[in-house]
Structure 1
């Protein structure tokens, strides 16, 4: 949450700083929890694509992991480095790598996870078809690890980009979970394609044992899982029945009296305001190397 961001006009952006959250996205998970009571009976949690760590902060607070007597365990995984969070085990690793799965199971002492979430998203290009496809692949990558470590009856929550082909993802998830719901927290801007898929009551496929293998595509991983519907062209070619579009129930989360992320709020009369620094400065910003090169005189204007 940099000072030059357009987020500074958003009240959720300022409230995140005031309340100590690393990013405004913390309110999205809080509002999802208000709607679905996500953390009831939850002990082992995995936060995928976790950096900078706002969702891990929420999980740590909700599960009281700061208390040493707590039996809950939280593992945060991301390719980017993360600053430590009390009660959270941070792993810098690839979520598709088998060794990452082994490390998580080691932290859980061989037990399975009750809840897995992912707020990850690619660097958007502005080309919606490409962004939606890449995001869907990221969700399937997270789903690979989820099917290997989530216990039956567990819950999976992930960010999605709603587009014209999102029903295929709904269909695939519907074969693994009893209930699939699309939710839009009030803290998520209405101008954004972003929503969250809440998958409740994991039901493993019979006669299918998911196994992470190095350099394995999502298509190869789910080949024997009987997920999703056949493509229309394949159905016509092979004389297979083509399933109808799958539409997940849509729920808007967050009290109507809470702040609107697309609105601009005036400052109360007589109230002084101060500029707030980010709760957590970037740990590995992409511009860091360029600044170092500039200081050494390596980066010169052509």
Structure 2
């Protein structure tokens, strides 16, 4: 079957993408790894000894970054509805973390430790229709914030992908209610045409 013009353009862009090439060279599973790397360099998020939860972790690019940064000194708990191949020092739970059984399994690994950082690169399957995609993406990021509010220690940190559009401003206000400092970041690895940005919350008010 012949590829559509748009899919052919996407494939060419993907193959020529500097971050795709870099990920292959550096052994990362996805170009998204460089978004977290840049956020970490800017905001000093990940330090040895931390307990970190990675929501929507598959295929594992962000968990790889965290694993390399902690170097065995810390706890990483990753969760996704999709399967994810194992990563060194990462405790992976497959399932919907909004379901009680999955949440309890996650909390069992936390085992009373104070959680330092919750990260989320979650996004819905995009249909291309903003009226469907935007509510779906806002729902996921609200779930991530809710999880962060439940598990973070005082002064903990939060990072989540958010798509600009309906509900964005209200969401940022919600994050500001829970964190003393909030930043909106657009990493270089985030494609310019994408509406995605990353919200970084620091200083969780437990």
TM-score (normalizing by structure 2): 0.90
Structure with greater helix share of residues: 2
1-structure distance, mates of 2:70, 2:12: 31
Count of residue pairs the alignment pairs up:
197
Assess if the C-alpha contact under 8 Å between 2:66 and 2:76 holds in 1: yes
Query: Structure 2: which 5+ runs fail to align?
Result: 1-9
Q: Corresponding residue for 1:271?
A: none
What is the CA-CA distance between 1:112 and the residue it aligns to?
2.6
2-structure distance, mates of 1:153, 1:202: 4
Assess if the C-alpha contact under 8 Å between 2:164 and 2:195 holds in 1: yes
The Cα offsets for residues 198-233 of structure 1, whole Å up to 9 and x where unpaired, read as: 0111113xxxxxxxxxxxxxxxxxxxxxxxxxxxxx
Q: Corresponding residue for 2:35?
A: 28
How is 1:201-280 mapped onto 2 (pairs within 5 angstroms)?
A: 201-204=203-206
2-structure distance, mates of 1:106, 1:84: 19
Q: Corresponding residue for 2:109?
A: 107
Assess if the C-alpha contact under 8 Å between 1:95 and 1:142 holds in 2: no
2-structure distance, mates of 1:158, 1:176: 14
Instruction: Give the secondary structure class of the aligned counterpart of 1:15.
Output: helix
The Cα offsets for residues 7-27 of structure 1, whole Å up to 9 and x where unpaired, read as: 112111111011100000000
2:118 counterpart (116, 119, 138): 116
Is 12-21 or 144-153 further displaced after alignment? Answer: 144-153
Q: Corresponding residue for 1:176?
A: 178
The Cα offsets for residues 14-58 of structure 1, whole Å up to 9 and x where unpaired, read as: 110111000000000000011101113651000000000000000
The Cα offsets for residues 254-284 of structure 1, whole Å up to 9 and x where unpaired, read as: xxxxxxxxxxxxxxxxxxxxxxxxxxxxxxx
2-structure distance, mates of 1:142, 1:112: 17
What is the CA-CA distance between 1:114 and the residue it aligns to?
0.5
1:53 matches 2:53 = no
What is the root-mean-square deviation of aligned Cα atoms in Å?
Answer: 1.7
Runs of 4+ in 1 over 3 A off after TM superposition: 3-6
Q: Which has the larger radius of gyration?
A: 1
What is the CA-CA distance between 1:131 and the residue it aligns to?
1.8
1-structure distance, mates of 2:59, 2:30: 7
2:92 counterpart (81, 90, 93): 90
Structure with greater strand share of residues: 2
Q: Corresponding residue for 1:153?
A: 155
Assess if the C-alpha contact under 8 Å between 2:134 and 2:166 holds in 1: no
Query: Structure 1: which 5+ runs fail to align?
Result: 66-70, 205-302
1-structure distance, mates of 2:12, 2:70: 31
1:18 counterpart (25, 29, 32): 25
